[in-house]
């Protein structure tokens, strides 16, 4: 980044699609370091019945270690994020509503959940600050 260039929140559809494509590949392949690399620290995950936060990459990695066997058991081999809404929040923050779709090893579509991601713009691109499971 050149001196004087300001980091901004991304609302660019291609940038957001590329980010969620990388994140989806990391999730379905069980690439925990790549998953952790998508998060800004500290981070927060919120669902109806629980919340947890993490302040280190190791804590992010530990929180996703159990996800890989779940994807393997369900034979999910690919994930695609359908971006439903992009809402600028501030100069550096963007809220993105995503509906995940998966493919299983037989090539069948498997419906996924919906999430809202609060992303922070960084010199390296968008990073997840907060994940909220919405359905």
- Eight-class DSSP state of 21: H
Q: Was domain 13-133 assigned CATH 3.10.129.10?
A: no
Average pLDDT of the chain?
A: 87
Band of residue 66 on the pLDDT scale cut at 50, 70, 90? low
Residue 53, C-beta contacts closer than 8 angstroms, at least 6 positions apart = 42, 43, 44, 45
Per domain, the residue ranges of the chain are 13-133
pTM of the predicted protein model: 0.87
pLDDT, tens digit (0-9, with 9 covering 90-100), for 21-61: 999 999 888 888 999 999 999 999 998 998 989 999 888 88
Share of the chain above pLDDT 70, in %: 92
Q: How far apart are CA 27 and CA 79, in angstroms?
A: 8
């Amino acid at each position: 980044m050149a001196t004087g260039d300001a980091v901004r929140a991304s609302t660019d559809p291609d940038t957001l699609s590329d980010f969620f494509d990388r994140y989806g590949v990391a999730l379905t392949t069980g690439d925990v370091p790549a998953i952790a690399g998508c998060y800004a620290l500290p981070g927060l995950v919120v669902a109806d019945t629980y919340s947890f936060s993490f302040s280190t990459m190791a804590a992010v990695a530990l929180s996703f270690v159990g996800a890989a066997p779940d994807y393997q058991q369900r034979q999910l081999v690919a994930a695609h994020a359908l971006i439903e809404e992009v809402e600028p929040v501030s100069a550096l923050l963007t809220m993105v509503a995503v509906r995940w779709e998966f493919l299983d090893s037989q090539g069948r579509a498997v419906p996924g959940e919906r999430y809202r991601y609060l992303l922070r713009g960084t010199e390296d691109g968008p990073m997840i600050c907060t994940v909220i499971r919405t359905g």
